[in-house]
Amino acid sequence: MFIVLEGIDGTGKSTQSRLLAEWFGQQGREVVTSREPTDGPWGRKLRESASTGRLSAEDELEYFLKDRKQHVDELIQPSLEAGKVVILDRYYFSTMAYQGVRGFDPTEIRRKNETFAPVPDHLFILDLDVDRALDRIGSRGDAANEFERRDALQKCRDIFLSLKDEPFAHVIDSRRDLEEVQEAIRAELA
Ligand code: TYD
């Protein structure tokens, strides 16, 4: 089973991914959790760029795709073939959202990704309004940056929500506390 958690920053993806892995573990299932960007060479370059200066939109998109190809080949595909449960914190839906905001067409990004990246069985969109998300990560900047940032996150949220009618998608209201959100995810899976 292939499960992906998505949502804007501050929605609790990494915690939910860990709790979900525990739940499968308790059921005796072998679980692999991972995240994107990965800790591989392309993922590291992408994470570094957060502090050393953002890459051009083209390079950024290219690095995310290279990072993901490697992730699919080396971890995702082999784990699924071995019958493991794979849980990802971010996947190509994040590329649709974040690189979509940088000017690329989300539909085209999706098409490109689906030529090499398997479609998940379940996509959980952890949904939270931008105000709450920013409060949770506790980082508010100066007024000008803040406006730009909020605007970008709002657009990301809208792109994630545009996937809500896909047969594999579940939108999870993430205003609730961690345990309740986890319960909601487990209920959908059960
Ligand atoms: P994030 O999960 O927030 O990393 P960390 O755990 O280090 O905080 O991801 C880092 C950023 O990368 C996040 O702002 C979203 C962005 N991102 C993209 O722009 N495109 C993508 O395809 C992915 C996977 C992530």
User: Which band of pLDDT confidence, cut at 50, 70 and 90, is reported for residue 146?
Assistant: confident
**Gap from CA of 29 to ligand 1 centroid (Å):** 28
Per domain, the residue ranges of the chain are 2-35+83-189
Instruction: State whether the beta carbon of 36 lies less than 6 angstroms from ligand 1.
Output: yes
Please, are residues 155 and 96 in contact by the beta-carbon 8 Å criterion?
Answer: no
**Atom 19 of ligand 1, residue of closest alpha carbon:** 98
pLDDT at 139 > cutoff 70: no
Question: Is the beta carbon of 9 within 6 A of some atom in ligand 1?
Answer: yes
Give, to the nearest 10 degrees, the angle between helix 106-113 and helix 57-71: 30
Each residue's pLDDT tens digit, 8-35: 999 999 999 999 999 999 999 999 999 9
**Ligand 1 close to Cβ of residue 37 (< 6 A):** yes
Please, which pLDDT band fits residue 150 given cuts at 50, 70 and 90? very high
Average pLDDT, stretch 129-145?
A: 80
Separation of 27 CA from ligand 1 center, angstroms?
30
CATH class of 2-35+83-189: alpha beta
Say how far apart CA 96 and CA 172 lie, in whole Å.
Answer: 19
- Supply the pTM of this predicted model: 0.96
56: tokens are 């051009």
Q: What is the pairing mode between strands 85-89 and 122-127? A: unpaired
Q: Measured between alpha carbons, how far is 113 from 64 in angstroms, rounded to an integer? A: 10
Span of 36-50, 75-89, 143-157 with lowest mean pLDDT: 143-157
**Calpha distance 94→189 (Å, rounded):** 22
Reported as a pLDDT band with limits 50, 70 and 90, residue 141 is: low
* Polymer length in residues for the chain: 190
Using DSSP, state whether 114 is helix, strand or coil. Answer: coil
Relative orientation angle of helices 178-189 and 13-26, to the nearest 10 degrees: 50
- pLDDT tier for residue 145 given thresholds of 50, 70 and 90: confident
**Nearest atom within ligand 1 for CA of residue 98:** 19
